[in-house]
Chain A
Amino acid sequence: MIRAPAFLSGLGRFYIGLVLAFLYLPLVIMAAMSFNVSPFYQLPFEGTTEWYVALAQNDGLIDATINSLEIAVLTTIIATALGTAASLALFRYDFAGKRILQALLFPPIAIPWLISGTAMLIFFFGTGIGRGLHAILLGHVALALPYVIIVVSARLATFSKDLEDAAASLGATGWQTTRKVTLPCIAPGIVAGGLFAFAVSFDQFVVSYFLATPGQTTLPVEIYAAIRKGFTPEINAVSTIIIVFSMSLMLVVSRFFRFGGDQ
C-alpha cells in the first residue's frame, strides 16, 4: 500500500470529479433540452414532452434505430464466431506466416475510418455488391473482427494448453475438447469481445455514412443528416434514449464482469 497524504488523495478525488463533470455535463444538458419547448434550444426552459411524441411518429428515425440494432446484433454474432475461431487457430497452431496474419488484423483499426469507408464505397459500388444494409454489415464485421480477436486472444493467453492436452489424452475429440474445456474457460473473453463488437457497430458512423442509401440507413447516419439539415429537438429525444439504453446495458453487463477490478 502506498500511503498518499490526505490532501493529495483529496485532490485526486476532486480531479476525478472534474473529469466526470466534463464527461457528463453535455449529456445531461442534451437530455434536459429534449424536454424544452423551443425548437431552437432557447432559454428559459419550458417543459414539454412534445419531442418524444414527435419522435414516436418519425418513421425515418424509428426504422433507422431498428436497422442499427439489427446490424449491431448480427455484427456481434458473426464477428464473435469468426473472431473466436481465428483466435483459437492462432493460439493452438504454429505455422509460417503467422506473424503476418496477426499483423493483418491491424489495418481495420490503424486506418482512419474515413479511408476504410470511402474505400468500401468505391469497391462495393464498383463491383455490384452495392450499398445498403448488407454493405454496412460487411463493413461493421470487418471493423469489429480485430477487436474480438485481440480480446479473445488476451483471454486465451491466460489459458493453459495443458488442459487441452489432458482432455485429449483422456480420449476427447478435438471438437469435444473445444466445446467442453476451452470455450467455457475463455467464455468471459468471448463475451467481452462480443460486447466490443456490439459497441463498435452500434457507434459506427463514418463507414455507415458512406455505405448507407436513402431508406437503408442506420441511426447515427440519420442523426447526422438530421443535424445538418435541421430536425430540432427530436434528435435530443432519440439521443437521450440511446444514452440511457446503452448505459443501462453496460451497467447490467458490468454486474457480471468486473471491469477494472483488482482481479
Chain B
Amino acid sequence: MKTTTAILAALGLSLCATTAMAKDLHVLNWKGYGADEPFATKAFEKMTGDKVVNDFFNSEQEMLTKLRTNPGLYDVVMINAAFMQQALDEKLVQPIDTATIENYGDIDDAKAKSKMLNVDGKTYGVPWTWGLTTIAINDKAFDTPPTSIKEMWKPEHKGRVTIRDDAVEAVQLGALATGQNINDIEDMDAVKKSLADLLPNIRTFWSSENDWNQMVASNQIDLGTYWSGSAGRAKVKFKLPVSLAVPKEGAVGWLDTFAIPKGSKNVEGAEKFINYMLSPEFYTEWDETVGAPVSASNKAVAALPADSFNRKVMGAPEIAERVQFQEPITDEQREEYLKLWQSLKVGAN
C-alpha cells in the first residue's frame, strides 16, 4: 500500500508538473463564439503576452457545473445575464472593477446598469453582446421567408425542423407560439401542448452550432430555432444557405456577459481580455470575417458599415418591439421546465 501510494503520488506529481504554466488565461465560453477565434487569441497574445486557453460548454447548466467542479481554474467566463443570479447565489463569480476596463464606458447604458448584473452596488457581469433566439431557415426550402412562428408546426415540414436541446429555450418557444410573455408564463398546459404538437416535426435537437450547420449542409432541415449571431456565422463564414427570420409573434432576446470566476489566478489578464472583446477592432473583424451577434458596445456597433445586418436590421425599431428579453428564472421554474422537457422528449406522458 505504502509503495503504491508513493509511486502514485510521484506519478501524479510528474504528470501535473507538465501541465501548469504561468500567464495562461483560461476562458470558458461556447465553441466558435468569438473568444476562440484564432485572429482574436493571436492578437490578444501579441498585445498582452497572455496565452488564451479556451474551454467550452454545451449548455448553461454545464457551464455552471464546470465552474463548480473546477474552482480556481477559469479566469473569464461568458454568462448569459439570465443565469447570473444563479452564479451569484452559489458564489461562483467575483465583483469586477469596471474602472480597469477602458471600453466599459462605451456599453449601452441600459445594459450596463441591468439589475441582473449589478447587485449591492457591485458589478458582476460586463455586457458583451446581445442577440435573438429566433427562427433561421434553409434558403433552399423557402421561396419567401416565413413571417410566423407557426411555420415550424406545419405538416409539410414533418421531420425537417430542429430546436435546441434546452428546457428553458423550448418552453420559451412554446410561450411565444401561444402568445404568452416568456418571463411570465400563465398557461403552462398550452405551452406543453404546443411543444408536444411540434415534436413530430423535429428531426433532432441541436446542441452545438456545428450540429445546425451540418444539418443544413446535408439538407436535412427546412427551419429551426437558432441564435442570430450563429445564423450570421453560418452565412458569412461557412457560406451556407441560412437566413434569419424574426416572426411576428416575437423573439427571445438574450444578453451575454463576461464575468470573472471566483479564485481566478489572472484577474488582470481577465480584465484586459474583456476590454479587448468590447473593442471596435475585435468586433468589426469578428462580424465581417466570421459573423457575430450585436455588440453591447455602442461604439463597436457604430464602427460597422451602415448597411450591416447587426446595425441596420437588429437596430431597427420594428425588431426592437418584437423582442422579449430573458429575465432570470427561479430554481422552481427551472425544475418545472426541465421536467416538462424531459417527459416530452421521452414521451412518458
Contact = CB atoms under 8 A, between A and B. Distances in A.
Does chain A touch chain B in the assembled complex, meaning CB atoms less than 8 Å apart? yes
Interface of A: 38-42, 67, 70, 74, 78, 82, 125, 131-134, 137-138, 213-216, 225, 228-232
B282 interface: no
Nearest to A225: B56
A215 B15 contact: no
B210 A232 contact: yes
B56 A229 contact: yes
Given A42-B217, A78-B7, A134 B209 contact: no
B148 interface: no
A22 B268 CA distance: 55
A170 B208 CA distance: 70
Contact of A41 (B4, B70, B214): B214
Contacts of A38: 217
B58 to A, nearest CB: 6
Given A40-B214, A134-B15, A230-B209, 4 more contacts: A137-B8, A137-B11, A216-B16, A229-B56
B15 A214 contact: no
A230 B69 contact: no
A71 B66 CA distance: 24
B8 A134 contact: yes
Contacts of A78: 7
A42 B73 contact: no
B208 A40 contact: no
A212 to B, nearest CB: 11
A137 B11 CA distance: 9
A132 B19 CA distance: 10
A134 B7 CA distance: 11
Contacts of B19: 133, 215-216
Given A39-B238, A40-B214, A134-B8, A214 B55 contact: yes
Contacts, number: 69
Interface in B1-18: 4, 7-8, 11-12, 15-16
A70 B7 CA distance: 15
Given A39-B238, A40-B214, A214-B70, A133 B12 contact: yes
A213 B31 CA distance: 17
Contacts of B213: 40, 230
Nearest to A125: B69
B97 interface: no
B54 to A, nearest CB: 8
B207 interface: yes
A138 to B, nearest CB: 7
Nearest to B58: A228
Contact of B70 (A74, A213, A230, A231): A213
A134 B6 CA distance: 12
Contacts of B31: 229-231
B119 interface: no
Contact of A230 (B12, B53, B210, B218): B210
A20 B207 CA distance: 34
A191 to B, nearest CB: 22
8 contacts: A39-B238, A41-B218, A134-B16, A213-B70, A216-B15, A216-B16, A216-B19, A230-B31
A232 B237 CA distance: 14
B37 interface: no
A228 B218 CA distance: 18
Contacts of A39: 238
Contact of B210 (A137, A213, A216, A231): A231
